[in-house]
């Protein structure tokens, strides 16, 4: 994984907005020799596991390009963009019943008999960054279309356009994918970092404090509010670090670093009993080699990326 950006946040995918803007350009991209199809089944994708690495099991496209299913409003083929100049599309398939094969969706070729369907958050760490980006975009679009078939204005059916990047209602109004911004904060004090355990997690799993941005609120205001609500401590200096799409289903994680406000007692922690079961300060050495019962965030998360960068800033054995 890139040390410069969190997972899912590379810039290798050319989203090629010009192609998605015109139906004839989408059909032409579909007809290109190198066009490939990524299939999705809920939160799973097909992969091929080779001796060197795991890769997405992308198929050559087949049949006609399908923009939408007019009767149901379901999205057809989603145009994700281009990787190394070659167009990549996605299509949602119905989950297979246990012990059976799912029916083939229009526009899919024959799959590799050696492919395996695996959960995105499980296999994502094994994929290369361009493939992770494809999965993130496909997941975000697919989840949005599942929830946006009907207009929030009048409840009428809407139809996909622009290769799946928009929908249009019966009045001609365009609808676009929604993203929910959330802040995530690495709070540091005297070479220690504050981590919390969510009340819904298993005992011993810790991560950075985080929360959604509220209406009429700046990102910095959200950082200060969320940390105070979840831990009871006041922040002083707040600095933006980076962002990460987290389309499970539709979040944009905005990473910050912060320090305690002058005069704040770092031990005066007051966890929100509804959200946080435990708060602890950790040194770098404690996080380099977590003790028994301590679990860190998953490797695909921006939380893990920020923690590992913070650990790398200090000398070993501190």
Confidence of residue 111 (pLDDT cuts 50, 70, 90): low
**Could you tell me the CA-to-CA distances from 174 to 19, 20, 22, 110, 167 in Å, in that order?**
18, 15, 15, 35, 6
- pTM of the entire predicted model: 0.89
The domains of the chain, with CATH numbers, are 17-175 (no CATH), 180-312 (3.90.79.10)
Cβ(30)–Cβ(77) below 8 Å: yes
pLDDT tops 70 at residue 153: yes
pLDDT digits (tens, 9 = 90+) for 5-63: 999 998 899 999 999 999 999 999 999 999 999 999 999 999 999 888 999 999 999 99
| CA-wise closest residue to 287 among 208, 184, 201, 185 | 208
DSSP class of residue 126 equals G
pLDDT tops 60 at residue 102: no
Confidence of residue 107 (pLDDT cuts 50, 70, 90): very low
| CA-wise closest residue to 244 among 305, 316, 310, 177 | 305
pLDDT digits (tens, 9 = 90+) for 266-280: 999 999 999 999 999
Which percentage of the chain shows pLDDT scores above 90?
87
């Amino acid at each position: 994984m890139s040390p410069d950006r969190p997972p899912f946040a590379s810039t290798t995918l050319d989203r090629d907005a010009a192609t998605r803007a015109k139906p004839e350009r989408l059909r032409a991209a579909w007809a290109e020799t190198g066009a490939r199809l990524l299939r999705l089944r809920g939160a799973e994708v097909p992969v091929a596991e080779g001796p060197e690495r795991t890769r997405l099991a992308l198929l050559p496209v087949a049949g006609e390009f399908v923009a939408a299913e007019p009767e149901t409003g379901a999205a057809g083929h989603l145009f994700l963009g281009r990787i190394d100049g070659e167009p990549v599309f996605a299509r949602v398939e119905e989950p297979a019943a246990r012990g059976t094969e799912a029916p083939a969706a229009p526009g899919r070729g024959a799959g590799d008999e050696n492919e395996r369907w695996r959960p995105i958050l499980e296999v994502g760490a094994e994929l290369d960054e361009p493939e992770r980006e494809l999965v993130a975009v496909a997941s975000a679009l697919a989840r949005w279309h599942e929830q946006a078939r009907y207009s929030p204005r009048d409840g009428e059916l809407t139809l996909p356009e622009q290769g799946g990047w928009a929908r249009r209602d019966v009045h001609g109004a365009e609808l676009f994918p929604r993203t929910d911004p959330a802040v995530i904060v690495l709070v540091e004090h005297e070479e220690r970092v504050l981590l919390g355990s969510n009340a819904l997690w298993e005992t011993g799993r810790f991560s950075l404090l985080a929360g959604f941005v509220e209406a009429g609120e700046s990102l910095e205001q959200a950082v200060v509010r969320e940390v105070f609500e979840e831990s009871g401590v006041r922040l002083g200096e707040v600095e933006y670090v980076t962002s990460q799409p987290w389309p499970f289903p539709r979040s944009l994680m905005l990473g910050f670093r912060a320090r305690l406000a002058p005069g704040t007692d770092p031990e005066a922690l007051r966890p929100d009993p509804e959200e946080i079961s435990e708060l602890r300060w950790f040194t770098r050495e404690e996080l380099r080699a977590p003790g028994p019962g301590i679990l860190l965030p998953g490797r695909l998360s921006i939380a893990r990326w920020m923690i590992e960068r913070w650990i790398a800033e200090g000398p070993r054995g501190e």
